[in-house]
Structure 1
Amino acid sequence: FVPYSAIKWIDLFVVRRRWGTGILTMMIPWFDFDLIIHLEHDEIEIEFPAFFEFRDVIENWKENGLYVMDHLDLFKRFPDEKAFKENFSAYFEKNYHDIAQQYGLEDPRISFKKTQW
């Protein structure tokens, strides 16, 4: 439990995830949301499957005074559920390597422990 008042800001990224080492898991692109919650003296990182409905959570946070930095303009780029479902994975499959280099993201993330680029 972290009270809103303890949160300085939240960074929202996308991370390419690789689960396992099998041929099938290497061929299917899997992209998760990656939240970095900045506190006064610490950070909390949360990774979870990307879904359009998370937009409602972000809007709720903004209404409650939390600043969310959507570095990749996710909900502008994919403004409705149809666009998100049809284009999200294809966009990141095509562009993720460059995005990862620009923002220092793992490419792909293969462990549960955050590593540095």
Structure 2
Amino acid sequence: GTTILTMMIPWFDFDLIIHRKYDEIEIEFPAFFEFRDVVEDWNKNGLYVIDHLDLFKRFPDAKSFKENFSAYFEKNYHAIAQQNGLEDPRIGFKKTQW
């Protein structure tokens, strides 16, 4: 559910699209730096993950991810959403709630 606290703290998710032979599976989950370990394991085993936004280059360690990830996306999400065809619920929220 949504609370006043979750409305005040920016929260972002990772979207993972798995391309299979005949279809796709889309998975959305909270953005945590530890997912980098999963991506690296998959890449080593021939399951390649394309990081379209270069997140793990932009935030190369857990400290930079924790300190800068949310602020970066809070500032740039609208442009990123337009460039990548992502939903942008923050526009509606800001216009209707404030």
Q: What TM bracket, shorter-length normalisation? A: 0.7 to 0.9
Check if 1:101 corresponds to 2:82.
yes
How many positions carry a matched residue from both structures?
Answer: 90
Q: Which runs of 5+ in 1 are unaligned?
A: 1-18, 110-117
Q: Which runs of 5+ in 2 are unaligned?
A: 91-98
Check if 1:86 corresponds to 2:38.
no
Give the deviation of 1:25 after TM superposition.
Answer: 3.8
What code does the residue aligned with 1:46 have?
Answer: I
Equivalent in the alignment of 1:74: 55
Query: Which of the residues 22, 33, 36 maps onto 1:55?
Result: 36
What code does the residue aligned with 2:15 have?
Answer: D
Indicate the SS of the match to 1:97. helix
Relative contact order (C-alpha < 8 Å, sep 6+): which is higher?
1
Larger helix percent: 2
Equivalent in the alignment of 1:10: none
Equivalent in the alignment of 1:6: none
Check if 1:41 corresponds to 2:22.
yes
What code does the residue aligned with 2:7 have?
Answer: M
Q: How many percent of aligned residue pairs carry the same amino acid?
A: 83
Q: 1:7-46 residue pairs with structure 2 within 5 A?
A: 20=2, 24-46=5-27
What code does the residue aligned with 1:64 have?
Answer: N
Larger strand percent: 1
Across the aligned residues of Structure 1 and Structure 2, the Cα RMSD in angstroms comes to 1.6
